[in-house]
């Protein structure tokens, strides 16, 4: 399976068709933004401590997490434009925390970001599992 095409056929409404390949709508925003953000920070020799780093690390992922959670629990919810937009915000966030992580491994903001993602994803996955098992 292609890494940007990780949806099952019943989830193709969450993808774009590009040259016969299904591309995840959120990943279509996330990965180009993340790689561009990493490249820009490297080229500009970005500082490792920025005043907006907590917001970038912890607030920007929230729309993607919320959209993913709602979509996981209500599969027909949302649109591809919304998924791509939240992917862009997530890409900005990940670009910043990964850039800092490369120089300061396991920086506190990266760990906080990972904890945030886990705190949202784990309950949603468990609720989805219980729903499917009970159905």
CA distance 35 to 2: 18
- The rounded distance, in Å, linking the Cα atoms of 86 and 105 is 26
User: Does the global pTM surpass 0.85?
Assistant: yes
70 within a domain of the structure (yes/no): yes
Distance CA 116, CA 113 (A): 5
19 falls in which pLDDT band (50, 70, 90)?
A: confident
* Residue 76 placed within a domain: yes
* Whether pLDDT at 9 is above 80: yes
Position 64 in a domain? yes
pLDDT at position 45 is 96
Tell me the residue range of the domain where 58 lies. 25-134
Query: What's the angle, vertex CA 92, arms to CA 68 and CA 115, rounded to 5?
Result: 55
Contacts (Cβ under 8 Å, ≥6 apart) of 19: none
Does any domain span residue 16?
A: no
Examine residue 56 and state whether it is found in any structural domain, yes or no: yes
């Amino acid at each position: 399976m292609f890494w940007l095409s990780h949806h099952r056929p019943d989830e193709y409404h969450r993808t774009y068709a590009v040259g016969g390949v299904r591309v995840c709508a959120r990943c279509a925003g996330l990965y180009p933004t993340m790689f561009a953000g990493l490249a820009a920070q490297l080229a500009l020799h970005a500082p490792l401590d920025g005043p907006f780093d907590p917001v970038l690390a912890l607030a920007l992922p929230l729309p993607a997490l919320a959209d993913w959670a709602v979509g996981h629990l209500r599969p027909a919810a949302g649109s591809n434009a919304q998924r791509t937009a939240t992917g862009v915000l997530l890409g900005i966030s990940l670009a910043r925390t990964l850039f800092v992580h490369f120089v300061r491994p396991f920086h506190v903001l990266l760990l906080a970001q990972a904890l945030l993602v886990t705190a949202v994803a784990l309950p949603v996955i468990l609720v989805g599992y219980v729903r499917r098992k009970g159905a």
